[in-house]
Amino acid sequence: MRIGILGGTGPAGSALGARLASIGYDVTIGSRSAERAVDVCQEIAAKHPEIASAITGGDNAAAAAADVVVIATPWDSAATTVQENSVALEGKILISMANALVRVAGEFQPLLPPRGSVAAHIQAAAPLSKVVAALHHLPAKELGHLGAPIDSDVLICSDDRESLRIVSEIVSRIPGCRPLDAGQLSNATAIEAFTAVLLQLNVRYKTRVAPKLTGIREEIVR
């Protein structure tokens, strides 16, 4: 499986690309500037030569040609980027990981995007794609530490059950991550908004928190 990352040259997108390459996926990091994407991949390869052959850079069209596509752009350009590549994205799984947030007087606050969530906004921009909301709460720095597990649950929601299953399988391969079925895409509103709470905890306690839920037996998750 090849996974493409639209707008993948930022901290979260590049760290996710490196992590996915480290667990056995072929990854294409995309950008409006193919040159920038190539440079980022070369930086990753220099730091982690063992994954150099699994990660390549190109424009967003190259990333959109992959089997599964992650949207790693800022939230306010996610729908536009998807719409620009909507033909290539038809019938594919689109993973929405963006959070609509603003910082006011030192506090993170959630914003309400069109249609209630970034994920729903993306689904409207690419109605023939299968949008899955996931990966919102994974810290970029920890994603980039390829030798270390990430102790976190990953809340995943989608209106397409098979797409949710496939994304859950991808997440389960990231050491330390546990995918949890959080229901239909409408629940992305709450999942995205909760990121503001986690970031505020980071600031308050000078750490990087990740959600971990109790009371769910592992055999049920599997």
Considering the entire predicted model, what is its pTM?
0.95
Contacts of 158 (CB under 8 A, 6+ apart): 130, 131, 132, 133, 164, 167, 184, 185
8 Å CB contact between 7 and 81: yes
Under DSSP, is residue 151 helix (H, G, I), strand (E, B) or coil?
Answer: coil
Quote the pLDDT of residue 120: 97
User: Between β-strands 130-133 and 26-31, what pairing exists: parallel, antiparallel or unpaired?
Assistant: unpaired
Buried b (16+ CB within 10 A) or exposed e, 142-181: bbbebeeebebbbbbbbbbeebbebbbebbeebeebbbbe
- Quick: pLDDT tens for 18-46: 999 999 999 999 999 999 999 999 999 99
- Quick: pLDDT tens for 103-157: 998 899 999 998 999 999 999 999 999 999 999 999 999 999 998 999 999 999 9
The mean pLDDT of 192-217, rounded to a whole number, is 94
Residue with tokens 């098979």: 162
In this structure, the number of other CB atoms found within 10 A of the CB of residue 83 comes to 13
- Quick: pLDDT tens for 174-191: 999 999 999 999 999 999
Residue 56 pLDDT grade (very low, low, confident, very high; cuts 50, 70, 90): very high
- Quick: pLDDT tens for 75-94: 999 999 999 999 999 999 99
Residue 222 pLDDT grade (very low, low, confident, very high; cuts 50, 70, 90): low
Quote the pLDDT of residue 144: 94
Q: Report d(CA 107, CA 19) in Å as an integer.
A: 30
Domain range summary for the chain, segments of one domain joined by +: 2-221
Q: Report d(CA 146, CA 195) in Å as an integer.
A: 23
Fold type of domain 2-221: Rossmann fold (3.40.50)
Residue 173 pLDDT grade (very low, low, confident, very high; cuts 50, 70, 90): very high
Whether the pLDDT of residue 219 is over 70: the answer is no
The mean pLDDT of 163-171, rounded to a whole number, is 98
Quote the pLDDT of residue 217: 83
Under DSSP, is residue 204 helix (H, G, I), strand (E, B) or coil?
Answer: helix
Whether the pLDDT of residue 221 is over 90: the answer is no
Question: How far apart are the two ends of the chain, measured CA to CA in Å?
Answer: 21
